[in-house]
Amino acid sequence: MTTIFSARRILTMNPSRSEATHVAVRDGRILGVGPLDELTGWGPHTLDTRFAGKVLMPGLVEGHSHVSEGTFWRYLYLGRFDRMDPDGKVWPGAASVEEVVERLQAGDAKLGSSPESLSGWGLDPIYYGARRVTRQDFDKVSTTRAVGVMHASGHIFNVNSRALELAGLLRPGVNHPGVPLGADGLPTGELKGPDAMTLVGKHIGFDREVLANDEPGLRQFARLCVRQGVTTATDLANLLPDDAVAMMTRVTGEPGFPVRIMPFRRFQGITARQAVEHVLALREKSTAMLRLGQIKLFVDGSIQGFSARLRWPGYYNGAPNGLWYTPPESIRDLYRLALEAGVLVHSHTNGDQATEMALDCLEGALLEKPARDHRFTLQHCQLADAAQFRRMKALGMCVNLFPNHHFYWGDQHYETTVGPERAMRMNACATALSTGVPMAIHSDAPVTPLGPLFTAWCAVNRRTASGRTLGSTECIGVADALRTITLGAAYTLRLDGEIGSVEAGKRADFAVLEDDPLEIGAERLKDVRIWGTVQGGRVFAAGDV
Partner 1 sequence: MSVAISVTVPVPVPVTVIGGYLGAGKTTLVNHLLRAADGLRLAVLVNDFGALPIDRDLIVGGDGDDGGDTLEISGGCICCSYGSDLMEALLELPRRRPGIDRVLIETSGVALPGMVASAVGLLEAYALDGIVVLADAETVRRQAADAYIGDTITRQLAAADLVILNRCDLVGAMARDETVRWVAGKAPNGRVVPAERCAVPAELVLGLHGGAGGRESNVLRTPGGVAASVLYESLELTLDRAVDVGQMARALTAPGSGVLRAKGCLRDESGRLVILQVVGRRAEITAAPAGATPGTLVVIGLRGQLDRAGVGGAAYLSS
Q: Which residues bind partner 1 (CB under 8 A)?
A: 168-169, 171, 173-179, 194-196, 198-199, 208, 239, 241, 268-271, 274, 309, 320-321, 323-330, 353, 357
**CA 348 vs CA 139, 266, 267, 302, 326: distances in Å:** 37, 11, 11, 10, 11
Quote the least distance from Cβ 329 to partner 1, whole Å: 6
CB of 208 or CB of 250, closer to partner 1:
208
Residue (270 or 479) nearer to partner 1, CB: 270
State the minimum distance, in angstroms, from the CB of residue 379 to partner 1: 17
Per the CB < 8 A criterion, the answer to whether 101 and 138 are in contact is: yes
16 versus 175: smaller Cβ distance to partner 1: 175
| Shorter beta-carbon distance to partner 1: residue 68 or 404 | 68
Q: What is the number of alpha carbons within 13 Å of residue 193 lying toward its C-beta?
A: 12
Q: What is the DSSP string of 284-310?
A: TT--SSB---EEEEE-S--TTTT-S--
CB of 177 to partner 1, least distance (A): 6
Instruction: Compare residues 15 and 318 and give the one whose CB is closer to partner 1.
Output: 318
DSSP string for residues in 193-252: HHHHHHHHHGGGT--HHHHHT-HHHHHHHHHHHHHTTEEEEEEEEE---HHHHHHHHHHH
Q: What's the burial of 129, exposed, middle or buried (CB within 10 Å: 0-12/13-18/19+)?
A: exposed
Q: What 3-state DSSP class applies to 353?
A: helix
- Alpha-carbon distance of 132 to 24, in angstroms, equals 57
Beta carbon of residue 298, minimum distance to partner 1 (angstroms, whole number): 9
Contact 270, 337 (CB under 8 A): no
Decide whether 35 or 168 has the Cβ nearer to partner 1: 168
Task: Give the nearest distance from C-beta 334 to partner 1 in angstroms.
Answer: 11
**3 state SS of 115:** coil
Query: Could you tell me which residues come within 8 angstroms of residue 375 by beta carbon, excluding any fewer than 6 positions away?
Result: 344, 396, 397, 398, 438, 491, 492, 494
Nearer to partner 1, 220 or 353 (CB): 353
For residue 149, the cross-strand partners are 120, 158
Nearest distance in Å: CB 528, partner 1: 38
- Residue 470 DSSP class: S
CB of 159 to partner 1, least distance (A): 14
Give the span between the Cα atoms of 284 and 292, in whole angstroms: 8
Spatial separation of the C-alpha atoms in residues 529 and 540, rounded to whole Å: 15
CB closer to partner 1 out of 271 and 286: 271
Closest CB to partner 1 among 3 and 198?
198
Angle formed by the axes of helices 452-461 and 404-412, to 10°?
50
Q: How are beta strands 46-48 and 2-11 bridged, if at all?
A: parallel
The distance of closest approach from Cβ of residue 294 to partner 1 in the complex, given in angstroms and rounded to an integer, is 19
Q: Name which of 40 and 198 has its Cβ closer to partner 1.
A: 198
45 neighbors 24 (Cβ within 8 angstroms): yes
Distance in Å, CB of 226 to partner 1, minimum: 32
Shortest distance (Å) from residue 245 CB to partner 1: 14
By the 8 A CB rule, do 47 and 4 touch? yes
